Amino acid sequence: MVRDTLTGSRIRERRVMAGLRQAELAREVGISASYLNLIEHNRRRIGGKLLVDIAQVLGVEASLLSEGAEAAVIATLREAAADSGSEAQELDRIDEFAGRFPGWAALIAEQHRKLGSLERTAATLTDRLTHDPHLATSMHEMLTMVTAIRSTAGILAETKEIEPEWRNRFHRNLNEDSRRLAESSQRLVAYLDGAGDAGANLTLPLEEVEAMMTAHKFRFDALEGAGDEDLRAFLREQKELTSRAARDLAETALRQLRADARILPLDEMRATAADGQVDPIAVARAFRAGLPAVLRRLAVLSDEILPQPLGLVMCDASGTLMLRKPIEGFPLPRFSAACPKWPLFQALSRPLRPLRQRVTVTGRDARQFDCYAVTEPVGTLEMNVDPLYHSYMLIVPVDGSQGEGREVGSTCRVCPSQNCEGRREPSLLTTGI
């Protein structure tokens, strides 16, 4: 394969190195994730402005993506020298240095790129911490209403001659929007008060476990062969786990992930997903594994072995979410109960009978996902004792819009769906009021 046909592979490599999801990079440069996927698999040629935009988001020179390493190493060395602010480097001898010591040159360039990547990660995490997605959605709706009010009021105030029919219509719109705005404002205040209270409970054991899992991106490869004592030693070192209860919960979760990894080894899973797609049922058959283990393992490994990450949620029979691996476009509620229409909850009523369902998430993006859900009993079965159950749901993004999917939301408070029989409380969003 000639050099420039590997541009897509280099983009993929750099994206993974930068810790970006395919969907995130695609959004940043204004293309669809499926188009980026084709580019990354070298099925679409790329150049010009789009290549420059992608390089900019990835923090690399476009030449690194189009030409490969040598030219880019020299360019990155120059960048590193410039960023250091020091004038001690022999800039006129960069070419000679890269030629005589290619290994050291590549190492310095790589360290410089990693530094940039870490800075971007820090900025992204700071951004996530300071932006509540529910709040952002709610504020967007309110701004839209304010715009309608401002525009309508402007027409009434500034138009000298306006037909009575139009005037009456704009008065009616104004009245309607003002009422919606007032109601939404009150609910937003209530939400913010509630969020403040919830913030005080951030140290719930389950949330500590989730924070620890997220910090490790749900991957604990080094523990796959570890014994129980090593596992407990690892958990004692985790700063997110501040309580004994949290450490006990984490130990149970990691034991399960460890068992999953032994049944479904990384290399074999990678081979199974070589074409970028996996069928959980086929994987379960091929590995003689239980479907819950397959769903967990696919979610955990998806960031590495599949073109796009997959999400996962787990709940007990009370419907309480006990594990969340978030996925873009399918918001998982943090403090309130989830949408009762999720296949996760349907599976609870039919243990051991897996279901697959296409869903469309309510809201303006209306993203579609295939959800694989299954419920299994917990612990050993005993005579005349009803078992307890855990339900799992793997969330797989669907490219584009492909037919109808059952409409599901995140949680009632931020769901715009109207006439939903499952609604428990009014929505903050105007369209749901």
Tell me how far, at minimum, the Cβ of 401 lies from another protein, in Å. 7
Cβ distance 225 to 254 under 8 Å? Answer: no
CB count, 10 Å around CB of 319? 14
CA 68/CA 1 separation, integer angstroms: 13
Task: Closer to another protein by CB, 73 or 148: give it.
Answer: 148
Strand, coil or helix: what is 238?
A: coil
Cβ distance 259 to 253 under 8 Å? Answer: no
Residue 81 CA to its chain's centroid (Å): 35
Task: Closer to another protein by CB, 401 or 418: give it.
Answer: 401
CA 413, 416, 417: angle at the middle one, nearest 5?
A: 110
Tell me how far, at minimum, the Cβ of 51 lies from another protein, in Å. 13
**Local structure of residue 330 (DSSP, 8 states):** B
CA 278/CA 273 separation, integer angstroms: 6
H runs (alpha helix) in 216-311: 228-236, 244-263, 266-272, 280-287, 291-305
Task: Closer to another protein by CB, 29 or 371: give it.
Answer: 29
Tell me how far, at minimum, the Cβ of 329 lies from another protein, in Å. 11
Tell me how far, at minimum, the Cβ of 36 lies from another protein, in Å. 12
Task: Closer to another protein by CB, 29 or 261: give it.
Answer: 29
Q: What's the longest Cα–Cα distance across the chain?
A: 83
Cβ distance 236 to 273 under 8 Å? Answer: no
Task: Closer to another protein by CB, 44 or 219: give it.
Answer: 44
299 token code pair: 């979610």
Task: Closer to another protein by CB, 65 or 108: give it.
Answer: 65
Regarding 47 and contact with another protein (CB under 8 A), the answer is no
**Which position among 41, 150, 179, 353 is part of the footprint of another protein (CB under 8 A)?**
150
Task: Closer to another protein by CB, 29 or 347: give it.
Answer: 29
Task: Closer to another protein by CB, 69 or 174: give it.
Answer: 174
Tell me how far, at minimum, the Cβ of 97 lies from another protein, in Å. 35
Q: Under rule CB under 8 A, how many of the chain's residues touch another protein?
A: 33
Q: Please name the amino acid found at residue 223.
A: L
Sole window of 152-160, 196-204, 279-287, 324-332 interacting with another protein (rule: CB under 8 A): 152-160
Which residues are CB-neighbours of 3 under 8 A, at least 6 positions away?
67, 68
**Which position among 97, 170, 330, 392 is part of the footprint of another protein (CB under 8 A)?**
170
Cα–Cα nearest to 372, from 389, 355, 358 = 355
By the 10 Å C-beta count (0-12 exposed, 13-18 middle, 19+ buried), 189 is classed as exposed
Near another protein in 176-195, by CB under 8 A: 176-177
Q: What is the dihedral of CA 166, 168, 169, 175, to 10 degrees?
A: 140
Tell me how far, at minimum, the Cβ of 137 lies from another protein, in Å. 9
Tell me how far, at minimum, the Cβ of 322 lies from another protein, in Å. 32
Regarding 159 and contact with another protein (CB under 8 A), the answer is yes
Near another protein in 351-370, by CB under 8 A: 364-366
CB count, 10 Å around CB of 72? 23
Q: State the binding string over 85-124 for another protein (x if CB under 8 A, else -).
A: ----------------------------------------
Q: E strands within 81-151?
A: none
Q: State the binding string over 51-70 for another protein (x if CB under 8 A, else -).
A: --x-----------------
432 token code pair: 């749901």
Sign of the torsion formed by the C-alpha atoms of 118, 119, 120 and 126 = positive
Task: Closer to another protein by CB, 165 or 197: give it.
Answer: 165
**Which position among 169, 217, 262, 270 is part of the footprint of another protein (CB under 8 A)?**
169
**Which position among 115, 143, 182, 388 is part of the footprint of another protein (CB under 8 A)?**
143
> Mind giving me the DSSP string for 40-97?
HTTSS---HHHHHHHHHHHTS-HHHHHH-HHHHHHHHHHHHHHHH----S-GGGHHHH
**Which position among 75, 106, 139, 317 is part of the footprint of another protein (CB under 8 A)?**
139
Near another protein in 393-412, by CB under 8 A: 401
Task: Closer to another protein by CB, 365 or 425: give it.
Answer: 365
56 token code pair: 């900019």
Task: Closer to another protein by CB, 155 or 259: give it.
Answer: 155
Q: State the binding string over 21-40 for another protein (x if CB under 8 A, else -).
A: ------xxxxxx--------
Residues that bind another protein (CB under 8 A): 27-32, 53, 139-140, 143-152, 154-155, 158-159, 166, 169-170, 173, 176-177, 364-366, 401
